[in-house]
Chain A
Amino acid sequence: MDGMPITGTQAVAIGSDVYWIGAFDPSLRSFDLILKTANGTSYNSYLVRGADGVCIVDTVKKEFQDIFFKRLESICAYDEIKYIVLNHMEPDHTGALPELLKRAPNAKVYLSFQAQGMLKGLLKEGAENLDVTAVTTGDSIDLGNRKVSFINTPFLHWPDTQCTWLEDCGMLLSGDLFGCHFCDERLFNDLVGDFRFSFEYYYAHIMRPFKHHVLQALDLIEPLDIKLIAPAHGPILREHPREYVRHYHSMSVPHLRREGEITEKTLLIFYMSAYGSTGDMAKEVLKGAEQVSGVRISLYDLEGGEMPPFVDLIEEADGLVFGSPTINGDAVKPVWDLLSSLCSIHTQGKLGAAFGSYGWTGEAVAMIEDRLRGLKFKVPVPGVKVKLIPTNEELEECRAFGRLIAENLTGTNAPRVIDFSDLL
């Protein structure tokens, strides 16, 4: 069967008493509204047999449950199923769960602590009377002659995600991690077509916002003696599985090292200016920030740049300041373009601020600040607005604003006490 496409309705052995019982979806072209796929996808589900019973790891999208059950039936009877492990609650992997629970009513469900509330959201009243066990790293199920262990890997890419580890055969059933949307009936990475771009594209769209969670997960995964990675989508990685782990690592750390001290904070100032007033303010913000040591500051005119490199810069920056004039009651479009491009990276906890020149209403600054808060930035320094052309005092205000931002970044800002009524 090696090298032959999987055409029937059989389970496919991927190791000793471990089987693939998934489904192919070759005609899918867009996934989760945010990804495209030229090759469709697959929903990989696995069956692990032990001396004391059978464990199913993940299911498939509901529309594909018939083939999933056929493959499952080709290899086991429903009353043999003792355990159902859910690595991820998204419907592409839990779609067949309600029917599976009907057919294997005595199976116990194992999932992460974070998945418990989601299971209720998915099954509603069907979640009552289920035998559910929440597990985390270090927990395992004993199948008699083998153990099914769990590795808690949250936010890859939902809060609930986890990996399942079969130590006896070195198999990592990794859920969406190490997956890609690439449907190829030849199933194994050494037999399928060239799927490297899909692997990287999937990472860029699904995992990139959670890079630091990826690195935390890799801390747990890298020490394992992995012989095979069985993800929930795309080829099963049996040739050079560790190279895919290494590639995840390299995609999660900066490529070209930034010059300067590792402790140095980075502050980026992005601005646009039609007549130069917001531009003049930007230069003073920079001067003010430069008065604080330990911060590397960069200034970019949004008019001269494309968004993707700016997004790369922002991903690594500690603080961001946006300068925009108010035009027709709004900040200018490139600012919004940039701010709406940030959902593919992690922004939570970065420091944000805004400034700008205006003519008579000046909405831009507050609108940018609101958006920054919405993106989970900290916005501790109130923005600076200047009516038309800045005076010397107003330029000094911009310097003080820049200095305060830099002090907040380095933690050298003076402690302040304010009253709640000042905030209302």
Chain B
Amino acid sequence: MAKATVKFSDIDLSVVVPVGTRIIEVSEKVGSGIVYGCRECDCGTCIMMVEEGMENLSTPSMLEDQVLRDNMAGKEFRLACQAQVLGDVTISPV
């Protein structure tokens, strides 16, 4: 199975995950400060900053784009409950 590394820069921890893993499946287990509300692409609580590797996350759905826009998030932000890891990324809470 293809692997990729997710680095949580707020806690200086990298996790090697199977490609396709969602950030939400990892961030809480390791205790990163990324937080969740609805967990289903509605509330925008889980907005995270993608420091490196934006191109290595799954393309946002129309709904995710809408939630990001409603929360006035810039282009370096994604929803951690939605984004899937396709290659190496470095992320942090906002």
> From residue B87, how far is it (CB to closest CB) to chain A in Å?
15
Identify the closest chain B residue to A419 (Cβ): B16
Chain A binder among B27-35, B51-59, B76-84: B27-35
Q: How far apart are the CA atoms of A331 and B15 in the complex, in Å?
A: 31
Q: How far apart are the CA atoms of A117 and B93 in the complex, in Å?
A: 23
Chain B binder among A35-43, A48-56, A209-217, A376-384: A376-384
- In-complex Cβ contact of A373 among B10, B28, B44 (8 A): B28
* Inter-chain contact A378/B32, CB cutoff 8 Å: yes
* Inter-chain contact A114/B71, CB cutoff 8 Å: yes
> Given A136-B72, A159-B44, is A380 in contact with B18 using a C-beta cutoff of 8 Å?
no
Determine whether A304 belongs to the interface, using a CB cutoff of 8 Å to chain B: no
Determine whether A116 belongs to the interface, using a CB cutoff of 8 Å to chain B: yes
Determine whether A34 belongs to the interface, using a CB cutoff of 8 Å to chain B: no
Chain B binder among A57-65, A284-292, A407-415: A407-415
> From residue A102, how far is it (CB to closest CB) to chain B in Å?
26
Determine whether A256 belongs to the interface, using a CB cutoff of 8 Å to chain B: no
Which residues from chain B contact A349 at a C-beta distance below 8 Å? 33, 35, 93
* Inter-chain contact B17/A420, CB cutoff 8 Å: yes
Which residues from chain A contact B12 at a C-beta distance below 8 Å? 411, 413-416
* Inter-chain contact A415/B31, CB cutoff 8 Å: no
> Given A159-B44, A378-B33, is A423 in contact with B15 using a C-beta cutoff of 8 Å?
yes
Which of B10, B17, B30, B42 has its CB near the most chain A CB atoms (within 10 A)? B30
- In-complex Cβ contact of A376 among B14, B35, B69 (8 A): B35
Which residues from chain B contact A378 at a C-beta distance below 8 Å? 10-11, 31-33
> Given A159-B44, A380-B11, is A417 in contact with B33 using a C-beta cutoff of 8 Å?
no
Q: How far apart are the CA atoms of A348 and B46 in the complex, in Å?
A: 12
Interface residues of A in 120-140 (CB under 8 A from B): 134, 136
Which residues from chain B contact A379 at a C-beta distance below 8 Å? 31
Identify the closest chain B residue to A417 (Cβ): B14
* Inter-chain contact A380/B69, CB cutoff 8 Å: no
* Inter-chain contact A420/B70, CB cutoff 8 Å: no
Which residues from chain B contact A114 at a C-beta distance below 8 Å? 44, 70-72
Q: How far apart are the CA atoms of A408 and B69 in the complex, in Å?
A: 33
Identify the closest chain A residue to B93 (Cβ): A349
B interface footprint on A391-424 (CB within 8 Å = 1, 0 otherwise): 0000000000000000010010111111110010
Which residues from chain A contact B18 at a C-beta distance below 8 Å? 420
Identify the closest chain A residue to B13 (Cβ): A416
* Inter-chain contact A113/B32, CB cutoff 8 Å: no
Residues of B within 8 A of A (CB): 5, 10-18, 21, 26, 28-33, 35, 42-44, 67, 69-72, 93
Cβ contacts A to B, 19 pairs, < 8 Å: A113-B70, A114-B44, A114-B72, A117-B42, A159-B43, A349-B93, A373-B28, A376-B33, A380-B32, A408-B11, A411-B12, A415-B13, A416-B13, A417-B15, A418-B14, A418-B15, A418-B30, A419-B16, A423-B29
Q: What 9 A-B pairs come out closest when comparing CB atoms? A: A380-B31, A379-B31, A376-B35, A420-B17, A378-B33, A417-B14, A423-B29, A415-B12, A380-B11
Q: A380-B13, A416-B12, A417-B15 are in contact. List 9 more A-B contacts (CB 8 A).
A: A113-B70, A373-B28, A378-B32, A379-B31, A380-B30, A417-B5, A418-B15, A418-B16, A423-B15
